[in-house]
Structures are given as C-alpha cells and as structure tokens.
Copies of this chain bind each other. A is one copy, B any other.
C-alpha cells in the first residue's frame, strides 16, 4: 500500500510532536507500506514570517512573500527527516523544486498543474519514507509559489492522485468530521463516512476540517480521503464518492461566522442591472455567496448578498465607486451575521427538509434573514448571537438519535 499522510502545523509544533508524528509514520512503514508524508510549517512559523514581512513592507511583492513563506515547510520536513533518522528509519525530505510540483504562476494563490512522481517513487523504491513540503510549488519561471489557505491539504491530495496512492490521510486536531461543531453541540456525532459532495458543502460552509480545494481535487481524481486525529488512534471519517446506501437525510450542520451581508438598495428595475453588479465583483475576485433579490419601493430592486468578511470593505468601496453607473441608492454592510447550513445527500429525494429546518429555528425564536439552497444543502443567514441556539436546535431536529 502507498499511503500519503498529511500533518498540520500544530502536529509538528515542537520536538515531542515531531517525534510523535515520526513514530506514527514509522509504524505504518514497518507494516510494509510505502509512506509519503506532507507537512505544514511548524506551529506559528507562517504567522511569524508574515509578521517579519509586514515589518519590512506591508505591501510586499507576492513573489517575495512566497519565497519567504516557503522556508517554513522546508524547516519542518528537514527536521522530520532528522527525527526519523534518529529512530533508525531512512527518510528523505523534498521541497517543491525537488519533487517537482509545478503550479500556475499566481503567487500566494497558485494551483497545481503537474506533479512529477519520479523522484518520490525512486526514493520509496529505495525503502525511504519521503517527506514533502506542503503548501508550495514552483512555477514556469522556476519561482516559488504558495497555494493559499489549506494548501497543505491540497498538496497531500494532489500527491496521492499523482502517485495513485491507496489512501490519503489528513491528520488534524479533531477525530474526524462531525455532524456539528462538538464545542457548540455536545451531542454531535463523528461521521463514519461522508461523500465528496457533502464534504465539499461542509468545507465551503465553514466546517474547517478540510479545505474545499482539497476535497474538490479528491473528488476529481477519486482519491480516498480519511480525516483523523494526530493525537489519538480513533478511526476518523472516510470521504469518498458513494456513501452508505440508505444515505442520511442530513449528514451535518455547519456554521460560517466569517460572512458579511451587503445590501444594495433602490436599483433601477431594468434588465442587466444584477449582471452588472456581480460581473463587477467577479472581475475583482470577490466571492459572492448567498444572493437575494427583492422588489423595493417605487419599482426599484433591492439586492442582498454575503461575502467573506475579509472582502467586505473592498466590496463596499467598489460598489461606492460605481454607485452611479449601477443606479444604487444606498449601500449597507452588516458583519454580525452567520451562515447556518445543513448538508446531506439524502435531501435530493426528500421533500420537506427545508420546512423542517425552518420549523426548528422557529421553535427557538431564531429569525431567518436570507435563504439559499443547493441540491444537497440548505443555508440560512441568521444573527451571529443566535448561532449556538440555532445550531443545537437544527442538529437535534435532524441528527439526535
């Protein structure tokens, strides 16, 4: 078996944890498996490097940011190889140049284009554990790139796909994917299995166990993913194409507190105006999520939508700059909102799921601000203060057994 194992920054934050990870990998290796390990930068390293850069230049060239940030993972992988050597197992660390892992040219947010498995395969054939830097790549200019948030998960999945691995295990500080955040909903349960699509919705909606790009890639290349704990030996959650036959109606509840709601009021009721608004935002790479359009007063339109809080200021400014052209009378921004979602492949064939969710929220007096749905998901926008009570109510309605 060829197994790709990915460990995040907190799993390699100090000497003890590095040896803990080394031992887990060696255990697998001693069973006769081939082991490829993907690591993030240790603990707060990336934040420290970002702070160092900001001290020098708050608007530093992104190419140089990547050159700087990529050192973090290189430190992790070399120290891990040293730890394995100490434990008597041959290991070799590889950075993005050495694999090589080719990406697009876009600094700080690159995408994998091609991963060459030759060197890794040769090292594995020599009986070594191979330790690869997560989060980074090399572009056509031979420059270092990084993949943006959740990049190391994506590296692990991309390597698993390129090497045709038998499993890709993502180690994290929780034991798997839960039906809801266990810190908020005490009776939340760990899922045994979840489909790519469900996981994708959950990831996108703020269940921060896996980054959605890694799930998308796993789905595309049919990489069997397992999410499990780096601290315990619990079994974790399997993410794969088809889950159990009698699919749960709802498999999980997710909350995203990082949303901001933007309302633009009093637009002229003429064709193409909504297109112009969202085309403008798209051109500036602002990701719009839930959209709601309603008729305003005096035959005008009101449009509300959510964006990530980090993009809210830029979005509002952009709308202001184009206020006249877009015939906007008024722009409002609101950050004390959260998206609450239920996800489940079973929804597709079951009417009344939405109604049941709204009932649960009504029962505990939670006001619904906006609604959006996909085939396997229902999302509502609620006040930030209502998150806990709403999450528990919805979870109990669908998932408490």
Contacts and interface: CB of A to CB of B under 8 A. Distances in A.
A119 B98 contact: no
A19 B119 CA distance: 40
Contacts of A63: 92
Interface in A68-85: 68, 70-71, 74-75, 77-79, 81-83, 85
Interface in A42-77: 49, 52-53, 55-57, 60-61, 63-65, 67-68, 70-71, 74-75, 77
A86 interface: yes
Contacts of A30: none
A290 to B, nearest CB: 38
B75 A60 contact: no
B85 A64 contact: yes
Q: A60, A65, A78 — which one has the most chain B CB atoms within 10 A of its CB?
A: A78
A143 interface: yes
Contacts of A305: none
A93 B49 CA distance: 16
A51 to B, nearest CB: 11
B15 A56 contact: yes
Contacts of A18: 56
5 contacts: A64-B79, A68-B74, A71-B74, A71-B75, A74-B74
A295 to B, nearest CB: 50
A115 to B, nearest CB: 15
Contacts of A79: 52-53, 56, 64, 68
Contacts of A82: 53, 56-57, 60-61, 64-65, 68
Contacts of A67: 74, 77-78, 81, 93, 95
Contacts of A61: 81-82, 85
Interface of A: 15, 18-19, 49, 52-53, 55-57, 60-61, 63-65, 67-68, 70-71, 74-75, 77-79, 81-83, 85-86, 92-93, 95, 97-98, 119, 142-144
A65 B144 CA distance: 21
A320 to B, nearest CB: 29
Nearest to A71: B71
7 A-B pairs with the lowest CB-CB distances in the bound complex, closest first: A68-B78, A71-B71, A67-B78, A57-B86, A60-B82, A57-B82, A64-B81
B75 A70 contact: no
A68 to B, nearest CB: 4
Contacts of A81: 61, 64, 67
A64 B86 contact: no
A67 to B, nearest CB: 4
A67 B93 CA distance: 8
B78 A64 contact: yes
Nearest to A99: B142
Contact of A142 (B15, B53, B77, B119): B119
Contacts of A55: 15
Contact of A98 (B53, B78, B142): B142
B83 A56 contact: yes
Nearest to A60: B82
A85 B57 contact: yes
A19 B93 CA distance: 34
Nearest to A14: B55
Contacts of A142: 97-98, 119
A119 B143 CA distance: 11
B74 A70 contact: yes
